[in-house]
Structure 1
């Protein structure tokens, strides 16, 4: 179950801080963050090799971030279905969805963040909602903003309990942890300071019901869990993007932006 932890403070030198946690099957191939899309050369993100899109896209020129999470609701018809991995690219490039037929996508939550505003779209397969987020701490999971779960859910009850436990554990941690102001040229550890242990899972083991980073074996023998974590900071002057392909390993962070 993917998670996005977000702190939005328009009065801060760095108004937007985000932790993007991607959960996926371990055998689904992907490429690390880079400029993978020739038609959108200014965008940076990891690329899903299966569908060609991304889960998180950064537009450093516009200081803009797009993040998508799977949602709850009714799946799109197989014929004509489009990949949700296209949505963060649209949001990061244009700041909105542009012409879009949501019925061609499975349910989703899409975040578009800039230094002065943060927007969240939710599609349930029946309704598309669009809201601006107030300043403060926000947690978006597969069941929506703060697990409000719009739309019918097929998520097993045990997974829903885990989502609720995760939010109950990490919200007070996020609210009580001092906000960093990541410097452009600082190493990840000093740039993100007290937020880095949060992004590394706050010392919870993968099998803890509250875990932000997790991993388990499914009934068909595949491994599912956290495959990467992104840290993104947006200010009017700069964009910082740090990435870990080894979640929970403090020494595994790489600075993607600024280069």
Structure 2
């Protein structure tokens, strides 16, 4: 994932509503949103090169998603493990909150920079790993945006997506305007772009909510609605230059009442 906006309302009938775009090289092999044959409690997309995921949910009442942190000013670790393993660990670990504490304390150092979101329906945790260190934060209620910096960083695409998502949530169903929002290709004025070390031309290319490119771009849009008994997931997939390649939906029944796990 490279852009996630979400509304976090613990204690409500819909504690989490989320929209996310995954940006990636189009040639990288990917499995669309589906149950995992080798981990049948999980539903999500899957990276077929490294075996991990960018966003997935579990029947146990967990959801996890990852984005990379873009900072070309600093040298990343050499030969790091795939960041796609992080959501999988969060979803399958016997004690995920303990694992997240360990990740933030020392284990994150092995990985290239990342953001990890973890939700169990009661608590939503953000782990941010960057050249300046690693932090673990319990996310407060409200509408938030996350891209390739830390939570709610005021990048133009984050502000535009977060404000648009808040408007989408006032409509019924919210998924239709949210889907349209996540396909917004509007860029931002050059003076407003971040400086992450990749150069002005690349910053402009990466600035839209939806990135349209031949080699690299938005590969999937995922929408999530968490309810007391199930989690609804829907995914739209895109090929080079933003060409639609299909969609999938899945209603994931939760195995019990939503409690911290």
After TM superposition, the score normalised by the length of structure 1 is 0.76
Which structure 1 segments of 5+ residues have no match?
A: 149-163, 181-191, 218-222
The alignment status of 1:213 with 2:210, answered yes or no, reads yes
Alpha-carbon offset, residue 237 of structure 1: 1.8
Partner of 2:140: 134
How big is each residue's C-alpha offset from its partner over 1:5-58, in whole Å with a ceiling of 9 and x where there is no partner? 1101124311101112100011111111233362x4311221111211111111
Q: What is the distance in 1 between the residues matched to 2:22 and 2:54?
A: 7
Partner of 1:15: 15
Q: Structure 1 41/202 Cα, relative in aligned 2: closer, same or farther at 3 Å?
A: closer
Partner of 1:31: 31
How many residues matched?
224
Q: What is the distance in 2 between the residues matched to 1:128 and 1:241?
A: 30
Partner of 2:126: 120
Q: Structure 1 119/62 Cα, relative in aligned 2: closer, same or farther at 3 Å?
A: same
Partner of 1:62: 60
Aligned 1:22-171 pairs, distance under 5 A: 22-36=22-36, 38=38, 40-59=39-58, 61-73=59-71, 74-79=74-79, 81-94=80-93, 95-96=96-97, 98=99, 100=103, 101-125=107-131, 127-147=133-153, 164-171=155-162
Alpha-carbon offset, residue 254 of structure 1: 2.3
After TM superposition, the score normalised by the length of structure 2 is 0.75
Partner of 2:175: 195
The higher-RCO structure (CA 8 Å, 6+ apart) is 2
Q: Structure 1 250/48 Cα, relative in aligned 2: closer, same or farther at 3 Å?
A: closer
How big is each residue's C-alpha offset from its partner over 1:65-90, in whole Å with a ceiling of 9 and x where there is no partner? 100000145454324x2110000111
Which structure 2 segments of 5+ residues have no match?
A: 189-206, 254-261
Contact 1:75 1:105 in 2 (8 A): no
